[in-house]
Amino acid sequence: MELIRIGVLGITSAILILILKNHRPEMGLQISLVFGAMVMVFLASRIRTVLDLIGIYVDRADISGVYISTLFKIIGMAYITEFAAESCRDASQNAIATKIELAGKILIIITAMPVITSVMNIIIGLL
């Protein structure tokens, strides 16, 4: 089972990081980075089925593809931002992590702007 594999992999990584922490703290960080990247890649390959299913229903409901692709793009950006910020926080660089999160938020707002403008146009048209 995949959950068991991830759990065992995480425990093993934690033990290795503990061993290395006293002598080489930077190697411990590298191990946690690789573990995070591996788990995220694995989860990304699993979540594809869900996204495909959502795509099928969007096609059937005749919703414009622009909105749903914007939504997926925002989810992807949040995914990357979260990974990078947590990695920096692991290295106890909270300031850099906060900056990455800020950049992620601003870029997400910019990506969402077309959808927000279309909502605004509909509201103004109703008034």
Partner 1 sequence: MDIDLIFKIAAVGILVAVLNSLLTKSGRDEQAMMTTLAGLVVVLLMVVKEIANLFNTVKALFNF
* CA pair distance 89, 96, nearest whole angstrom: 8
DSSP secondary structure letters along 57-95? HHHHHT--HHHHHHHHHHHHHHHHHHHHHHHHHHTT-HH
From the list 29-37, 91-99, 102-110, 119-127, the region that binds partner 1 by CB under 8 A is 29-37
Residue 48 touching partner 1 (CB under 8 A)? yes
Kindly state the smallest distance separating residue 12's Cβ from partner 1, in Å: 7
Contact present, 111 and 73 (Cβ < 8 Å): yes
Residue 81 touching partner 1 (CB under 8 A)? no
* CA pair distance 117, 67, nearest whole angstrom: 12
DSSP secondary structure letters along 12-65? HHHHHHHHHHTT-HHHHHHHHHHHHHHHHHHHHHHHHHHHHHHHHHHHHHT--H
Binding residue for partner 1 (CB under 8 A) from 1, 3, 4, 26? 26
Q: Whose Cβ is closer to partner 1: residue 38's or residue 116's?
A: 38
Binding residue for partner 1 (CB under 8 A) from 60, 62, 64, 75? 75
Residue 92 touching partner 1 (CB under 8 A)? no
Residues that bind partner 1 (CB under 8 A): 2, 5-6, 9, 12-13, 16, 19-20, 23-24, 26-28, 30-31, 33-35, 37-38, 40-42, 44-45, 47-48, 51, 69, 72-73, 75-77, 79-80, 83
